[in-house]
Amino acid sequence: MKRIRETIIVEGRYDANTIKQCVDAHVIETSGFGIFNNAEKRKLIEMLAQKRGIIVFTDSDGAGFVIRNHVKSAVKGGCVKHAYIPEIEGKERRKTAASKAGLLGVEGMTPEIIIDALRRAGATFEDEPERESAGITKQDMYEIGLSGGTDSASKREELAVLLGLPRLLSANAFLAAVNMIFNREEFLQTAQKLNK
């Protein structure tokens, strides 16, 4: 089992169990929205971000993004990386019904998807070198039409789907994700498909 240096932040215990079956890593649960009322846990997460780095790994639904953004804003300094799972329709085996968004969460992902998402987030695997940023800038985003325009959000959403990322990413989160996941050429080639 591959060991990861960063602490992985997830929503709940089933997500934590799934992660621990895939990689050897320190995992902390936010208890869903419980993180909003738990100052001690937020302080611990901030300390871990400063000491060893964290990877926020929440579901690709609205609630997951609210929790992700809360954790990100609570951390003042340190290394915060973001792992994203693809939007796959379905329900987890333990549940009787699908989530409100109808998407599988972290706990419903295969080990291959989990490891790929961590790798794409820039996780530090002990036996592998760290990945460098692709150097995609806000100016690139503007020139491609992914920010600053009237239909930028919809173009970003469309490109996110093409790249296998969640549609709900803000412009800044999208930029951070593509810089960690893709090289510059891959990104620009895929972005050109939007204009065809």
In a domain? residue 36 = yes
Cα separation, 124 vs 25, in Å, equals 11
Cα separation, 106 vs 86, in Å, equals 10
Cβ atoms of 45 and 55 within 8 Å: the answer is: no
Boundary (domain end) residue, out of 88, 121, 154: 121
169 and 93 in a single domain? The answer is no
Cα separation, 84 vs 161, in Å, equals 12
Which CATH number is 48's domain given? 3.40.1360.10
Cα separation, 35 vs 50, in Å, equals 19
pLDDT of 130 above 80: no
Listed in sequence order, the residues at least 6 apart from 112 whose beta carbon sits closer than 8 Å to its beta carbon are: none
Residue type at 143 in one-letter notation: E
Cβ atoms of 173 and 141 within 8 Å: the answer is: no
- Mean local confidence (pLDDT), 37-44: 91
pLDDT digits (tens, 9 = 90+) for 132-188: 666 888 898 898 888 888 889 898 988 888 887 878 788 888 888 788 777 888 888
pLDDT of 119 above 70: yes
Q: Name the strand (E) or helix (H) holding 18.
A: helix 13-22
Give the per-residue pLDDT at 132: 63
116 and 142 in a single domain? The answer is no
Q: Count the helix, strand and coil residues of the chain and give each as a percent rounded to the nearest 5.
A: 50, 10, 40
pLDDT digits (tens, 9 = 90+) for 49-102: 988 899 999 998 889 999 999 999 989 888 999 999 998 888 888 887 777 788
Q: What radius of gyration, in Å, describes the C-alpha atoms of the chain? A: 17
In a domain? residue 132 = no
147 and 73 in a single domain? The answer is no
78 and 117 in a single domain? The answer is yes
Give the per-residue pLDDT at 171: 85
Cα separation, 19 vs 22, in Å, equals 5
Give the per-residue pLDDT at 93: 84
DSSP letter, residue 34? G
The domain tally of the chain equals 2
Cα separation, 89 vs 87, in Å, equals 7
111 and 57 in a single domain? The answer is yes
Boundary (domain end) residue, out of 121, 150, 178: 121
> What's the residue count for the chain?
196
Give the per-residue pLDDT at 36: 95
Domain enclosing residue 188, as ranges: 138-195
pLDDT of 129 above 70: no
103 and 143 in a single domain? The answer is no
Answer yes or no: pTM beyond 0.85. Answer: no
Greater model confidence, 108 or 193 = 108
